[in-house]
Amino acid sequence: MLLLLPMNGDDTQESELVGILSVTHWATVEVDEGQVVEIKFYTNRSEIEGWLDAVIVTGNYEPVMEFIDQQMMVLVAHTQRTIDDIVEAYLFRELHDLAL
C-alpha cells in the first residue's frame, strides 16, 4: 500500500500533515504487512511516479476531487499529524473515510 501525505517539511520525525493548500512537501509512505518499507519526500507531486493507493488529508473539506478522479482512496486524519501516528492509525483502521 502506497500512501500519499501532504506535509510541511521533509523530515521524517519532525514534519507534520498539513492541508493540501499549505503543502510544502509530499511524502509517500510504503506500508507492507504492517511495516513501513520506505518513506520518500517530493517537493512537487508531479515527481511521484507509480500508483498511489490512498491520500491522507486533515479534514473533510480539503480539495480532493483530483485524487478521487484518479481512483485514489481518500482518508481523513482528524487528529494524527506525524507520519508515525498516521501509519499507526492506518494500520489500526482509525482513519476516517471522507464525508461528502
Judge contact between 81 and 16, C-beta under 8 A: yes
Judge contact between 27 and 39, C-beta under 8 A: yes
Q: Say what the pTM is.
A: 0.95
Encode pLDDT of 7-50 as tens digits. 999 999 999 999 999 999 999 999 999 999 999 999 999 999 99
Q: In this structure, which amino acid lies at residue 48?
A: I
Residue 19's domain spans which residues? 2-97
Considering the chain, what is the average pLDDT of its residues?
A: 96
**Domains contained in the chain, number:** 1
Q: Which residue has the cell 494524527?
A: 80
Average pLDDT on 64-78 reads 96
CATH number at residue 92: 3.30.420.130
